[in-house]
Structure 1
Amino acid sequence: MSSAATLWTVERQFTARAIRAAAALGGVEIELPAQYEHYVDNKKPEFLSKFPHGKIPAWEGKDGFNLFESQAIARYVAALAPNSGLLGHTLQDAALVDQWIHLVESEVDIYTDFIRGICTGVVPYNKPTHTFFVERQNRALNTLEAHISTRTFFVGERITLADLYIAALIQKAVEKTIDAPLRAKLPNLIRHLETVSNQPKVKEIYGPIVYTEKAIQYVPPVKEKAPKPAPTPAAPKAEKKPKVKEADDEEEEPLVPEEPKVKNPLDDLPKSTFNLEDWKRAYSNKETRGAGGALEWFYQNFDAAGFSLWRVDFKYNSELTQTFMSSNQIGGFFNRLEASRKYLFGSVGVLGQTNDSIISGALILRGLDVKPVVDVAPDWESYEYVKLDLNNEKDKAFFEAALAWDLEVDGKKWVDGKNFK
């Protein structure tokens, strides 16, 4: 059987492994170019005439049909072998295959590349951004883990293109970002990777799995020491005179004056009678509602001139899936607010159920403007903030319920939450 096409790729391109595996399982003959140098051959006019964007993998069909973008090629290859079941057996199966491929590509693989790029200095390193990339990838990994924990394959009872694609990109991630501690939390996803990659017809394509023990980390470059200036010729020695030591000898002064500490503008707000740390202790040690409770303490001590109350709502609730993952997202947001800990208290929760939930809660913060307090978190704009008025019964009820963890919004009840204290 003559080959159907040439697949232009390089050895370490993981998405091409999914394409080659699909061809192997579907009985589609493809060949790899005898010689190809990336960033050289794909810039030549003859390559660009077939693939104008210069990307690989690229499919050059013997029938003159050319195609680039790995997901499109993989789907086309699977369709060339309709009896293979690689696209499932129904339209619904095919849609689910596309769904899982898109998730692993857009929410796992892209962050593998981002994390590697920021840790290797391809882009300037920024710790909050690095943390955000890790949390976004982990969120998707948890979704994959939860789904595969009750089944062998992602769609139906047989291997589909979704399994080939997920295995290829998880194989890439375990080399860089999915380290030993994280793998311990993803046993079913790792089991799936090993099951798929060890299928007899594709084992050679996937090759050995290389597991990293520690995720790739940013290592600051070593600063080179400036060369010492050449010594100048010694001047004739002057006659020594007795030295009288002053109380503050110059030699005891620092050689470089300390930089003044940057003052937080919130520290310049007028003094308030409300002590946030006292409130945090009261909230931690008292029942929230009832006589002598934390809310009673709050109303006795709150200073509306120095502090303000805010409702906070996540803007992208349609993206939320598992409620425990949404709770972890709140924890990540709170972690990124660490620089504002002395100015802020929060009680935010997940309301609803799996695949039908929202994130909402309340904040108590220093000053009358929310932005100076929350913009220390890089993802603060993913939330909407509305000031609460305790003279408004609806606002007051929302505030109290958020603190008591019995908040209900549009029929969605509080299922989990976190405090920022």
Structure 2
Amino acid sequence: MSAGTLYTTSEVEKKRVRSSVSLIVWGSTNQDNTLTRQISAIAAFAGLSVEVKEGTAGIVKTPTLASKDGFSLFEASAIGRYIASLAPSSTLIGRGAKEAALVDQWVSFVDADISRYNTLILHLVKGTITPYNKPIHTVFQDRLASALITVEKHLVTRTYLATERITLADITLASELQSAFSTTVDAALRAKLPNVLRHFETIVNQPNLASIFGSTTFAEKALQYTPPPKEKKEKAPAPPAPKAEKKPKEEAVDDDDDDDKPTQEAPKEKNPLDLLPKSTFNLEDWKRAYSNKETRGSGGALEWFYQNFDKEGFSLWRVDFKYNEELTQTYMSSNQIGGFFNRLEASRKYLFGSIGVLGTRNNSIISGALIARGLDIKPVVDVAPDWESYTYERIDLTNAEQKAFFEAALAWDLEIGDKKWVDGKNFK
């Protein structure tokens, strides 16, 4: 029995989505295959089928299910629930109000906490969302990992998510996991998810689902962003230099009056930071490493930093806003950091910063870390008129607490008291 026709994103729409960030939707490009597989698997388990076609001009949003009686429905979760309700047995959506609520709970969790962040990570690393932002990438990965750990703990004493039988929630989770396991969830993270893996293998190997899910290619390492190669610009040939005209010789004139001679400008005074002894630590190389590597872990940006840092040529500083009681909305505090960084522009080649907002509305603070040329912070930051609105404390990496603060500020997972990192900005 057919549940209807499932319309997915057309090739025209895929091209349109790829050409404009504003047109990215969850049901497009790579995620479209995941949702199609999810709906097809639900239908197969319910003993039904769907015919998959590319979307037409009359389709409001994909995926959309259209039945023969004219009924039309979009959004994958809604389509899945509707198809599950058509099954002769109601076990897919739970028996009774409580089981049905538990099924809906886990479907919502997968959509909001697993599918969402898996999709955002893929858009970032594949360059669909530009410009690439490595700290945001790290935040998304942490949230995806946290969601998977939640599922792992839940499955320690359970075979399935919501009931004692396979439900809509289990198939929804397996569909998204197949995408995540092959792209964004690496072997190291999977090693922490034995029960999630067991659940996944149970679902995808069901006799009526195996042909839909097929085989899964597990990623050894998570996909990473690769900057596009810079285009080499061909230099235009220089025009031939005009021939100098010969001027007649002028008689020498003895003139003691130098008032008419142009005055020579005094040479620009060098920035004292440029006069410091050459350092083995290249700040621009660090900024590239920070932008393109994971912050923590083997081969990450922090590992690169500790291998290359020159404590004689650079210094580390904790920076805190003095007037946190004046802060209100956290987004306004984030904008304040951006303004401070803009006013530090003259010190860009001498400074790196990672500063964030921690806390909630009307109860937040601004704090973070700086890497500065030289051993004195003042010559680096006094180019900003509001530099004295912040306190600066030298960070000693031999002090475990200060080192942990520095690493957390760079990784955007800093916590101070009961206040957690909400948003941040980098000065690069």
TM-score normalised by L of structure 1: 0.54
User: Are 2:115 and 1:115 equivalent residues in the alignment?
Assistant: no
Deviations 1:328-370 (A, max 9, x none): xxxxxxxxxxxx97226xxxxxxxxxxxxxxxxxxxx474447
Distance across 1 between alignment mates of 2:104 and 2:82: 12
Matched, 1:102 2:108: yes
Match of 2:143 among 136, 146, 170: 136
Aligned-CA RMSD value: 3.6
| Deviations 1:154-194 (CA, angstroms, capped at 9, x unpaired) | 01211000000000011111122111111111121122111
Residue in structure 1 matched with residue 318 of structure 2 by the alignment: 343
* Counterparts of 2:179 and 2:364, CA distance in 1: 43
SS of alignment partner, residue 380 of structure 1: strand
Compared with structure 1, are the counterparts of its residues 232 and 16 closer, same or farther at alpha carbon in structure 2 (3 Å cutoff)? closer
Matched-pair identity in %: 40
Q: Are 2:35 and 1:15 aligned? A: yes
SS in 2 for 1:211: coil
**Matched residues in 2 for 1:56 and 1:386: separation?**
41
**Aligned residue number for residue 218 of structure 1:** 225
2:179 corresponds to which of 129, 153, 172: 172
Distance 2:114 2:355 in 1: 22
Please tell me whether residue 63 in structure 1 is matched to residue 41 in structure 2.
Answer: no
Q: Is the 8 A contact 1:119 1:125 kept in 2?
A: yes
Q: In the TM superposition, what whole-angstrom CA distance separates every residue of 1:35-79 from its partner, at most 9, and x where no partner exists?
A: x3xxxx43x2xxx1xx3x2x2221111122111111111001111
The letter of the residue matching 1:90 is G
Maintained 8 Å contact 2:64/2:72 = yes
Equivalent residue of 1:32, what SS? strand
2: CA distance, partners of 1:226 / 1:261? 33
Q: Is the 8 A contact 2:38 2:175 kept in 1?
A: yes
1:26 equivalent to 2:46? Answer yes
Distance 1:69 1:235 in 2: 70
Distance in 2 between residues matched to 1:154 and 1:75, nearest whole Å? 16
Q: Does the alignment pair 1:385 with 2:384?
A: no
> Using the alignment, how far apart are the partners of 1:69 and 1:260 within structure 2?
61
Q: State the AA in 2 paired with 1:3.
A: S
Q: Secondary structure at the match of 1:190?
A: helix
| Unpaired stretches in structure 1, ≥5 consecutive residues | 237-256, 263-339, 345-364, 388-402, 404-416
Q: Note the residue ranges of structure 2 that are not aligned, 5 or more in a row.
A: 10-29, 244-268, 275-314, 328-332, 338-353, 366-400, 402-414, 421-428
Q: CA separation in 1, counterparts of 2:183 and 2:273?
A: 38
Question: What is the SS of the residue equivalent to 2:66?
Answer: strand
Letter of the aligned partner of 2:5 in structure 1? Answer: T
For residue 384 of structure 1, report the CA deviation from its aligned partner.
5.7
Mapping of residues 156-235 of structure 1, within 5 Å: 156-228=163-235, 230=237
Q: CA deviation at 1:104?
A: 0.9
Distance 2:202 2:155 in 1: 12
Find the counterpart in structure 2 of residue 397 from structure 1. Answer: none
Deviation at 1:15, TM superposition (A): 2.0
Change in CA separation of 1:119 and 1:231 when aligned onto 2, cut-off 3 Å? same
**Secondary structure, counterpart of 2:92 in structure 1:** coil
Supply the AA of the counterpart residue of 2:156.
Answer: S
Say how many residue pairs are matched.
Answer: 260
Q: Which amino acid aligns with 1:343?
A: R
The CA deviation string for residues 261-301 of structure 1, in whole angstroms up to 9 with x for no partner, is 89xxxxxxxxxxxxxxxxxxxxxxxxxxxxxxxxxxxxxxx
Q: Which amino acid aligns with 1:151?
A: R
Aligned counterparts of 1:342 and 1:157: Cα–Cα separation in 2: 55
C-alpha spacing 1:57/1:368, structure 2 compared with 1 (3 Å): closer
Could you say if the C-alpha distance between residues 226 and 21 of structure 1 is closer, same or farther in structure 2, counting changes exceeding 3 Å?
A: closer
In 2, the alpha carbon distance for the partners of 1:258 and 1:188 equals 62
SS of aligned partner of 1:343: strand
Normalised TM-score (structure 2): 0.53
AA partner of residue 98 (structure 2): Q
Cα 1:367/1:156, change in 2 over 3 Å? same
Q: Distance in 1 between matches of 2:187 and 2:96?
A: 38
Q: Specify the SS of the correspondent of 2:165.
A: coil
Whether the aligned pair in 2 keeps the contact of 1:129 and 1:378 (CA below 8 Å) is no
Q: Deviations over 1:190-232 (max 9, x none)?
A: 2211110000001111111121111111112222333355478
Task: Quickly say closer, same or farther: Cα 1:234–1:191, change in 2 above 3 A.
Answer: same
